[in-house]
Structure 1
Amino acid sequence: MVANASRGPFKADVVGSLLRPAKIHEARSKLAAGSATRDDVWKIETDSVDEAVGLQKDVGLKVCTDGEYHRRHWFVDFVEKIDGVGFAGGLPTRFQTEAGFIEFSPPKVITTGKLRRTRSLAVDDFKDLKPLADKAGLTPKQPIPSPTLVHFRSGDPGVDKKAYPDIAEYYHDLAQVYRDEIKALYDAGCRYIQIDETNFPFLCDPNMHDHVRSIGEDPVKLQMKYKNLINAVTKDRPDDLTIAMHMCRGNHESAWAASGAYDFVAEVAFGELDIDAFFLEYDTERAGTFEPLKHMSKNKTAVLGLVTSKKPQLESKDLLKRRINEASKYVPLERLALSPQCGFASTIGGNKLTVDEEKAKLRLVVDTAREVWG
């Protein structure tokens, strides 16, 4: 899919989360203390979403998200609403920064019963965003975590055998949950969805293969299982619905969890996933070269995440242009676009930069895209 002026992906695009304002943190603290209700917090979050839409419009974007302000974590708030999903403690993960390591344990997802969608997973968030985006004249985009998140953290051993004696039925039901949510989003007026995917890029890191084997999987065969799962989710979608995928190696308080070039997954991910566009981390050497983009099939767009969301220093516009030109050796320029490498606050604390620095990053994306594509 070639990016254009009226439909995503846009030449200057945005990934998802934005730094949360202090009033959201204060409201959530009151909620935890019992001095505020969830409705109270929602109203404050909605006011903040309106401000986030204004921020994205002010920097020149034609697209916006809600900053993920109704979430405390990029995937937990979504998957915990799926019937049959549970959590079994944390999955210890060593996140890395340029200065050292951060120990963080995202929840270990397990399946305790039949997987069903009986309520909104992200639709309520989108219904809150859409009128604000419409008022601002922007296209609203809804990020959702990948269905692979439900499986990867515990694998088949984390699936209740009474509920799913046949693992194929598990994958079928998981895909149906997502199909139902995507239909509900579409019915609510959403035409641009982004699947946030960590596990394909995690497979690019040989250090992650030990975890894959610990859950009884093979790093190569697991790609095929996840390809089939995602393609079952996106199958038969409406022609006017764009579904993109953001590939991330971890984003927690300016730290990352994995490193590795896309080569290990490129043929399957770029060549065989039924996805319209890929948002790809390319802000550091951790992501390797652009050569794996040669596997990008059909009319898929590669949105280059050349502007890091992990630190405040602004990239050189000339360097960004040179890197876009380098990528165009593998994907035609008209099928390239530009974005930040990730969101600015995948977890509630956010990355180590200020709102003004966040805005400068987004404005750099817009200005560079305008000079490259017009």
Structure 2
Amino acid sequence: MTPRTEPPFRADHVGSLLRPKRLLDARAARADGRIDAAELRAAEDEAIREVVRMQEDIGLQSATDGEFRRTSWHMDFIYQLQGVHRTDEQITVHFRNEQGDLDFESAALKVDGKVGLDEPIFGADFEFLRSVVTTATPKLTIPSPSMVHYRGGPAAIDKTVYPDEDQFWADLSAAYARQVQGIAALGCTYLQLDDTSLAYLNDPAQRAQFAAMGADAEHQHELYIRQINAALADRPVGLRITTHLCRGNFRSAWTAEGGYDFVAEALFGQLDVDGFFLEYDDARSGGFEPLRFVPPDKYVVLGLVTTKRPQLESKDELKRRIDEAAKYIPLEQLCLSGQCGFSSTVEGNALTIDDEIAKLRLIVETAHEVWG
């Protein structure tokens, strides 16, 4: 089996990692005014150095900063786009897990100005990550353009600014194109677009909710794919781009359910990325049949190892499921990862850092035994 020397790698991970207690304490101290921004940044720097060493020591070929400087995986980015602002309204997202229901609340967003971008978001953060890796490829994770729209739907776009929604999409894709170019100029060769919308739209209940917001839920995924492609159209040579499809990840809970069947043909056949990180940790993710639409030049990273529970999967079960997926896509096009991040929000999922390390090590060892 051919070794992977460019992303995605045979053993990979989505990006977010559990924050150590001392970093959480530093964030709390900053919120209370007991330390200043420079002191918090220093605490983040040290925690990132340590988590990068952990990833490299385990044998991962990619390393992220764990998203340690963020409160959430997407809003810290989105609010830095010109023309996008918080509102006083609170959005409640309903999550659930085996223990019951829980809600995630966050400020709503409003597109009340022309969307734009002057310099790459998270540019300084990526430069620091790049400076501390030694053997791994530094990966930057950002929310996809779809997330700016899916969070509030058409109603979040001020009609006095954008009477024509097509112009909003043109400006948003142009801003993302500048982000892609800018981050590549800083030396990024591995960029991941995280996207819940393209996974949520597989769920009929989610499509019904989105239609109620005034969107064309039956064809929204096709629009999102076109707009992501517009943002990536002039990406630099040498920049590998993946996307991660998530059905929700907050304190070990999820929002949407259902396989990839609804979006699969358009998603795999049309989205101009190099690889897809797909959740496949339990029955709510559906079967592997949609992988038959993946073209021969793209890779699928099977998220078979759950990041929502501490129980460690068996290698035999992981290998069995990889063999099952290989009935629909060649084994050469497959890789292995966790099903999502370990800490999409600062609170993190219900497992320990030791559990996290054990799962990452399991991914590396299983990938080595399967692909060599």
- The reply to whether TM is greater than 0.5 is yes
Please name the residue that 2:75 is paired with.
76
CA distance in 1, matches of 2:218, 2:294: 19
Query: Does the aligned pair in 1 maintain the 2:296–2:333 contact within 8 Å?
Result: no
Which deviations, in whole Å up to 9, do the C-alpha atoms of 1:184-236 show, x marking residues without a partner?
11000000000000001100111112221122112222111101111111112
Query: Residue 211 of structure 1 aligns with which residue?
Result: 209
The answer to whether the 8 A contact 1:3-1:11 is kept is no
> 1:293–1:330: 8 Å Cα contact kept in structure 2?
yes
- Asked whether the 8 Å contact 1:3–1:10 carries over to 2, the reply is no
Q: How does 1:47-66 map to 2 (within 5 A)?
A: 47-66=46-65
Indicate the SS of the match to 1:106.
Answer: strand
Partner of 1:22: 21
Equivalent in 326, 348, 356 of residue 358 of structure 1: 356
Residue 204 of structure 2 is aligned to residue 244 of structure 1:
no
Q: Distance in 2 between matches of 1:3 and 1:39?
A: 45
Q: Which position in structure 2 is the counterpart of 1:33?
A: 32
Which of 281, 305, 308 matches 1:307?
A: 305
Q: What's the Cα RMSD here?
A: 1.3
Q: Which residue matches 2:11?
A: 12
Equivalent residue, structure 1, for 2:232: 234
Q: Tell me which amino acid in the other structure corresponds to 1:7.
A: E
Pairwise CA distance, 1:92: 1.4
Measure the CA separation in 2 of the matches of 1:256 and 1:276: 26
Secondary structure of the corresponding residue to residue 219 of structure 2:
helix
C-alpha separation in 1, matches of 2:106 and 2:247: 14
> 2:284 and 2:50 mapped to 1: Cα distance?
34
Task: Provide the C-alpha distance between the structure 2 equivalents of 1:320 and 1:104, rounded to a whole number of angstroms.
Answer: 31
Counterpart residue number, 1:112: 112
SS at 2:328 equivalent:
coil
Specify the alignment match of 1:129 in structure 2.
129
Partner of 2:169: 171
2:335 matched residue in structure 1: 337
Contact 1:3/1:337 (<8 A) preserved:
no
Q: Size of the alignment, in residue pairs? A: 371
Tell me what 1:288 maps to.
286
**1:173 Cα deviation after fit:** 0.6
1:26, distance to aligned residue in structure 2 (A): 1.1
Over residues 241-299 of structure 1, what are the superposed CA-to-partner deviations in whole Å (9 max), with x where a residue is unaligned?
Answer: 11000000000011111111100110111111111100000001011000000111241
Distance 1:157 1:61 in 2: 42
Per-residue deviation at 1:3? 8.1
Distance 2:236 2:179 in 1: 14
Distance in structure 2 (CA, Å) of the matches to 1:166 and 1:137: 48
- CA shift at 1:109, angstroms? 2.4
SS at match of 1:92: strand
Distance change >3 Å, CA 241–CA 119, structure 1 → 2: closer
- Please say if residues 87 and 107 of structure 1, whose CA atoms lie closer than 8 Å, have aligned partners that are also in contact: yes
Q: Which runs of 4+ in 1 moved over 3 A?
A: 2-5
Conserved in 1, the CA contact under 8 Å of 2:121 and 2:179? yes
Distance in 2 between residues matched to 1:229 and 1:38, nearest whole Å: 36
Say if 2:12 and 2:335, in contact at 8 Å, map to a contact too.
yes
CA contact (8 A) 1:95 1:104 kept: yes
Alignment correspondent of 2:264: 266
> Is this contact kept in 2: 1:110–1:151, CA < 8 A?
no
Provide TM-score, normalisation by structure 1: 0.97
Q: Matched residues in 1 for 2:37 and 2:266: separation?
A: 42
SS at the partner of 2:111? strand
Instruction: Provide the rounded CA distance (Å) in 2 between the counterparts of 1:284 and 1:140.
Output: 29
Identity of matched residues, %: 45
Point out the more displaced range, 206-215 or 332-341: 206-215
Gaps of 5+ in 2: none
Q: Which amino acid aligns with 2:24?
A: H
The answer to whether the Cα contact below 8 Å between 2:120 and 2:178 also exists between their aligned partners in 1 is: no
1:368 equivalent in structure 2? 366
Given residue 184 of structure 1, which amino acid in structure 2 is its aligned partner? G
Query: 2:119, 2:182 within 8 Å by CA — same for their partners in 1?
Result: no
Give TM-score scaled by structure 2 length.
0.97
Query: Deviations 1:69-115 (Å, cap 9, x if unpaired)?
Result: 11111111111111110123222111111110111123322201000
Kindly provide the amino acid, as one letter, of the partner of residue 51 in structure 2: A
Q: Is the Cα contact below 8 Å between 2:84 and 2:110 reproduced in 1? A: yes
